Amino acid sequence: MPAVQGDLRSDAALTGLLIADLIGVAVFAASGASAAVGKRLDLFGVAFVGFVAALGGGILRDLVVGAVPPLAFADWRYAVTAVLASLAVFRWHPQLNRLRRTVLVLDAAGLGLFTVTGTLKALDAGVPPVGACLVGMLTSIGGGLARDLLTGEIPAVLQRDIYAVVALGGAVAVSVLSWLNVADLITLCAAALTMTAVRLVALYRRWSAPIAVP
Amino acid sequence: MPAVQGDLRSDAALTGLLIADLIGVAVFAASGASAAVGKRLDLFGVAFVGFVAALGGGILRDLVVGAVPPLAFADWRYAVTAVLASLAVFRWHPQLNRLRRTVLVLDAAGLGLFTVTGTLKALDAGVPPVGACLVGMLTSIGGGLARDLLTGEIPAVLQRDIYAVVALGGAVAVSVLSWLNVADLITLCAAALTMTAVRLVALYRRWSAPIAVP
Amino acid sequence: MPAVQGDLRSDAALTGLLIADLIGVAVFAASGASAAVGKRLDLFGVAFVGFVAALGGGILRDLVVGAVPPLAFADWRYAVTAVLASLAVFRWHPQLNRLRRTVLVLDAAGLGLFTVTGTLKALDAGVPPVGACLVGMLTSIGGGLARDLLTGEIPAVLQRDIYAVVALGGAVAVSVLSWLNVADLITLCAAALTMTAVRLVALYRRWSAPIAVP
């Protein structure tokens, strides 16, 4: 039985999913490109870090579930979207500071979306639930991890903020929905939107995870 | 012909192997979690670096030999063991300094065990001997490498200590045993214990590999 | 239809390709080993960074196109060549400064060769053209990226120099040749040599990619 039910595999739903996915790719690429501009990388470096930030999580997901070649290489629209978004940041990054809040909201939306699609793809490929939750989380945090490693930083997601925990909670929710056979368009959108909302509240309230006492 | 012979595939042997494997996972996770606590990563960062230190080598091994999804995602006991060990370090790390010698002994045992199982899995998957030795070595050093990269350090295994060379020697021994058709429970345990012993002697005597003259 | 045509699959051509490939491996290993010696890594670290610099790009390529185990593990000649070249650098690195120009020329030749073989392998495995170009480029820059990450540097290929862009341009040329059904021994050699020449001119003229205005 597939991991999702009902009309989620209709043409309209798939087109909607592709558009949402590409928006997530563009936003994650912009985060990578911004970090690369800040480190004074050259034009190629900015495009490359943007590509990795946007598609690194999905490439890892596809390698782990055995879907080769990964979607980032199999469908040109992903790479082209990531590179165009990175080049836009390279060209217009001074003006982007004004868009900072928009970018944070879109990034939170990408977090929800990538976690849902990553978890479903893993379940569909036969990965058991605990593993599928980890794959779903890695799909949404993997790109940011790689971005930080490429720019010489200890990954931000390991240091502060409530980000990966939101992804993990959302992946668990998606696995439960799928196990209950109610993973349809409405419940999955609700899961993605809840993740986005929790992430935004965590940002606004400056929630952070505990650090070990010395 | 399989890479191992005799009673190594009996239920009792497999249960023993699983328990030994999970102890190795717990110890490697503790090493990752300790490094993460030292870098003041948050609770999630500690759990994540512990997970990667424990299971990164095995994930790399499984991707290279085409065993997807990797065991770390296919069997929930591995991820749960790694995370629980990491959380224990997060909670009780000040007391762990007293256990430092125990941890070093268990780490040496993990080195021996992971090298043996990694090399056998590669041989079983049809990787030729030289490649299988490299895969066996990567299984035991890959997690520590990833731990150091995630915490912003040049990997310790590349800088000092006799660690990877012990793994490489052990992997060669396992390949020879398998080629001679004498890779059974007793000879493989002997190989793992020898690696553990050599590693402990190297630690005690402070053996180190040469550095190039400037 | 295969990605290459004509006599490129003859025994003589394949032997020539293997020898060229191993020269590329040796040169890339030397670049990794030099970086490792400079960071005062030990003998094992020098061999390991050399191995990764030489074969990391090809391992990534093979994982992405589903060719497991990767060639670096399936054919012992690759690993042995990389390790021997690294050990030679460890032993004779002071004298290598005099060979610096030779190494740069051989590195440029490796860039051309690895890009051509990487792109062809991806096309042959059914990766669509845009993805195959990315895989071809990653084949030639992946090892250097991993070398820099292992030695604690932000990858040079992202910061300066015309290197990856040459690879990308060459990969596009190879894809077009293959699409036109004229990817034979002569045109592919011409593509590799053109890449090498452009890279050397870029080095000589100190061309560099633009950096974003602050």
Local confidence band at B160 (pLDDT 50, 70, 90 cut-offs): confident
Question: For all residues of chain C together, what is the average pLDDT?
Answer: 90
Which residues in chain B are closer than 8 Å to A62, comparing Cβ atoms? none
pLDDT at B9: 61
CA dist B150 to A159, A188, A194, Å? Answer: 11, 32, 29
Closest chain A C-alpha to B213 CA, distance in angstroms = 28
Mutate which of C49, C60, C61, C68 to test chain B, going by most B C-beta atoms within 10 A? C68
Q: What angle do CA C133, C134, C140 make, to 5 degrees?
A: 95
Mean model confidence pLDDT for chain B: 90
Distance CA B27, CA B41 (A): 19
Among the residue ranges A20-24, A150-154, B150-154, C4-8, the one predicted with the least confidence is C4-8
Written as six digits, the tokens of C93 are 């690195």
**Alpha-carbon torsion angle A106, A129, B65, B182, nearest 10:** 150
pLDDT at A28 (0 to 100): 93
For residues B121 and B65, the answer to whether their CB atoms sit within 8 Å is yes
Q: What is the pLDDT of residue C133?
A: 96
pLDDT in tens, B33-71: 999 998 999 999 999 999 999 999 999 999 999 999 999
- Compute the average pLDDT of residues C168-194: 93
Instruction: Give the amino acid at A176.
Output: V
User: What pLDDT is recorded for position C101?
Assistant: 79
C-beta atoms surrounding C201 within 10 Å: 13
**Worst-scoring range by mean pLDDT, A48-62, A178-192, B10-24, C33-47?**
B10-24
**pLDDT at B107 exceeding the cut of 90:** no
pLDDT band of A8, cuts 50, 70, 90: low
Mean pLDDT of the B140-162 span: 91
Using CA atoms, how far apart are residues B81 and A131, in angstroms rounded to an integer? 13
Contact criterion met (CB below 8 Å) for C130 and C143: no
- Spatial neighbors of A196 by CB under 8 A, at least 6 apart, are A105, A108, A109, A111, A112
Give A-chain residues touching B36 at CB under 8 angstroms: 158
> Computed from CA positions of residues B61, B65, B69, B71, in that sequence, does the dihedral angle turn out positive or negative?
negative
Tell me the mean pLDDT in the region C147-152.
94
B127 in contact with chain C, both atoms CB, cutoff 8 A? yes
3-state SS, one letter per residue, for chain B: CCCCCHHHHCHHHHHHHHHHHHHHHHHHHHHHHHHHHHCCCEHHHHHHHHHHHHHHHHHHHHHHHCCCCCHHHHCHHHHHHHHHHHHHHHHHHHHHHHHHHHHHHHHHHHHHHHHHHHHHHHHHCCCCHHHHHHHHHHHHHHHHHHHHHHCCCCCHHHCCCCCHHHHHHHHHHHHHHHHCCCCCHHHHHHHHHHHHHHHHHHHHCCCCCCECCC
User: Is-contact A112 A174, C-beta < 8 A?
Assistant: no
- What's the pLDDT at A86? 96
Is C211 in a helix, a strand, or coil? strand
Question: Which residue in this structure is represented by tokens 């060990």?
Answer: B85
pLDDT of residue A6: 55
pLDDT digits (tens, 9 = 90+) for C62-111: 999 999 999 999 999 999 999 999 999 999 988 877 777 777 888 898 89
Q: Are C158 and A50 in contact (CB under 8 A)?
A: no
Report the SS3 class of residue A153: coil
The pLDDT score that the predictor gives to residue A20 is 83
CB contact, 8 Å: A209 with chain C? no
Q: How far is A17 from chain C (nearest CA, A)?
A: 21
Q: Which residues in A105-135 are b (16+ Cβ under 10 Å) and which e?
A: ebbbbbbbbbbbbbbbbbbbbebebbbbbbb
Contact B41 A128 (CB under 8 A): no
By CB neighbour count within 10 A (0-12 exposed, 13-18 middle, 19+ buried), where does C184 fall? Answer: middle
**pLDDT in the model for residue A98:** 74
- Residue B7 is predicted with a pLDDT of 55
Q: Taking residues C120-147, what's their average pLDDT?
A: 94
Comparing A148-152, B96-100, C142-146, C152-156, which segment has the lowest mean pLDDT?
B96-100
Instruction: Decide if pLDDT at A7 tops 90.
Output: no
Inter-chain CB proximity C131 and A76 less than 8 Å:
yes
Q: Mind listing the pLDDT tens digit for each residue in C110-123?
A: 899 999 999 999 99
Helix A129-150 × helix A11-38 angle, to 10°: 30
Check residues B206 and A48 and name the one with the higher pLDDT. A48
State the Cα–Cα distance between residues B209 and B206, nearest whole angstrom: 10
User: For chain A, what is the radius of gyration of the CA atoms?
Assistant: 17
Copy the structure tokens of residue C163: 């290197």
- Structure confidence at residue B161 as a pLDDT band (50, 70, 90): confident
The DSSP-derived string for A53-81 is HHHHHHHHHHHHHT-SS-HHHH-HHHHHH
A44 CB neighbours in chain C (<8 A) are 157-158, 164-165, 209
Query: Are A209 and B90 an interchain contact pair (Cβ–Cβ within 8 Å)?
Result: no
Residues in chain A: 214
Q: What CA–CA distance (Å, rounded) separates B22 from B4?
A: 21
Per-residue pLDDT tens digits for A102-142: 778 888 988 999 999 999 999 999 999 999 999 999 999 99
Q: What is the C-alpha radius of gyration for chain B, rounded to an integer number of angstroms?
A: 17
CA distances from C32 to A172, C37, C42, C43, C89 (A): 42, 9, 13, 13, 9
**Which of B73, B150, B152 is opposite residue A131, by nearest beta carbon?**
B73
Per-residue pLDDT at A149: 95
Contact in structure between A70 and A59 (CB atoms under 8 Å)? yes
Helix (H) or strand (E) holding C111: helix C100-124
Task: Give the pLDDT confidence score for residue B8 in this predicted structure.
Answer: 60
Q: Name the closest residue on chain A to residue B76, using Cα atoms.
A: A130
Phi then psi for residue B213, to 5 deg, are -70, 140
In the structure encoding, which two tokens stand for residue A175, read together? Answer: 């696995």
